[in-house]
Amino acid sequence: MLKEYAKICKYCDKEFTTNDYRSNFCSYSCRYKAIAKSRRENTKPKKCLVCGKEFKPYHTTDKFCSYECLMVNKKSKSKWNWDDEQCENRRGTKNPAYRNGLRVNGTRLTGKGLKKFKKNAEKIESRMINEYGWKFCEICKVSNAIKYERHHIIFRSEKPNHENLHDKENILITCISCHNNLHANKGMRDAIVKERGLDKIFGSDVLNKTKNDVNNPSKA
């Protein structure tokens, strides 16, 4: 049987029992608070590199008295200190990330339509869970995929400004494998397009696409 030791916590002065004779605190919370207090009391004061105010750093490497001073320092070192004219030259369609009526940041869709797309995709996923109890790929029906992705059946690059682009009828929940296959071969989607009547909404030109007819390889 382990021996128990009666001790008094060095932070809150509460009596406690422990099997470890080296323990000086009644809990991890008191231990970490004591360490933080010791740091504040024992560290030498420094001068903030931005405002010059004297402060006690939590870490020995701290150079700024507050988050605001840290950001002021970062902005002062920024490579892009543009004036109003330079900013105007990179707005809207003049921005290098702007194409096909949308501003695309990496693979992430930004701009008009994003909220509608996310809202409708969430409704589809909620319906799946309510009706079946889980999410699944609408192409291969796999329900144990590591990750599910949201796919525009008619790509954003094909009909970038169409009012129905982000409707529920044009959204599929897919596994990663099927998502990649849909982007590699538009011909795969013809049956889905006809079943959902998307050719009547977007036009018959969205049908009969060849394997290599991919205008925009980025995921939609």
* Residue 212 pLDDT class (50, 70, 90 cuts): very low
Q: Is 75 exposed, middle or buried (0-12, 13-18, 19+ CB in 10 A)?
A: exposed
pLDDT tens-digit readout, 63-84: 899 889 998 888 777 656 667 7
Distance CA 182, CA 126 (A): 23
pLDDT tens-digit readout, 91-115: 777 776 665 555 545 445 555 577 8
> Percentage of residues in the chain with pLDDT exceeding 70?
85
Residue-level pLDDT at 197 = 92
Distance CA 156, CA 131 (A): 29
- The mean pLDDT of the chain is 82
Helical segments of 144-197, H only: 176-184, 190-196
pTM comes to 0.48
pLDDT tens-digit readout, 153-181: 998 888 888 888 899 999 999 999 999 99
* Residue 147 pLDDT class (50, 70, 90 cuts): confident
Residue-level pLDDT at 15 = 92
* Residue 26 pLDDT class (50, 70, 90 cuts): very high
